Amino acid sequence: MFERFVNVVQLLVAGAAVLTVVLMFTVSPTVAAVSPPDADRGAELFQANCAGCHGVGGEGGIGPALAGGLARFGSIEDVVSFVSTGVPGSMPGFETRLGPDEINAVVEFVWTELAGR
């Protein structure tokens, strides 16, 4: 009885594995591409708030390089959260300096234009 149950579970998991592979090839990202006005705004906000530490082109300086990076983050939402709250003793949180739309714009600029994600 238990053996039969395990066999059924294995069949279901094999199906789930096949489904996972299919999804890897068929699911498209839903993140909308940044529009030019937002990119311009994000670039301006980046130069005003981020370039001092991360470099004008995101090449790094006091803070780590952003160009070609950000792979530690699983999603753009994670970067927004990180930029909003910051890290004590390392990077300031920007939720008290910028509005949510401004943080979204600068993160979209960093994510798409600098990090190349």
Partner 1 sequence: MSTVSAPSPRALWYALLLGGGVAIAVGVYGSVHDPAGQQTISLFFSNTLSFKAWTTTVILLLALFQLYSALRMWGNVSLPREMPGWFGDLHRLSGTLAFALSLPVAFHCLWALGFEPDVTELRRFAHSLLGCLFYGAFAAKVTLVRSHGSPSWALPVAGGVVFTTLVAIWMTTSLWFFTTIGFPAI
Where do contacts with partner 1 occur on this chain (CB under 8 A)? 2-3, 6, 9-10, 13, 16-17, 20, 23-24, 27-31, 71-72, 74-78, 81, 111, 117
Min dist CB 117 to partner 1, Å, is: 4
Nearer to partner 1 (CB atom), residue 1 or residue 62: 1
Residue 12 CB, nearest distance to partner 1 (Å)?
8
Helix or strand holding residue 100 (H, E): helix 100-109
87 backbone φψ class: left, alpha, beta (φ>0; ψ -120 to 50): beta
Q: Looking at beta carbons only, is 52 or 116 nearer to partner 1? A: 116
CB of 28 to partner 1, least distance (A): 8
Cα separation, 81 vs 23, in Å, equals: 27
Q: Is-contact 100 94, C-beta < 8 A?
A: no
Query: Minimum distance between the CB of residue 64 and partner 1, rounded to whole angstroms?
Result: 11
Helix 100-109 vs helix 76-85: crossing angle, to nearest 10: 120
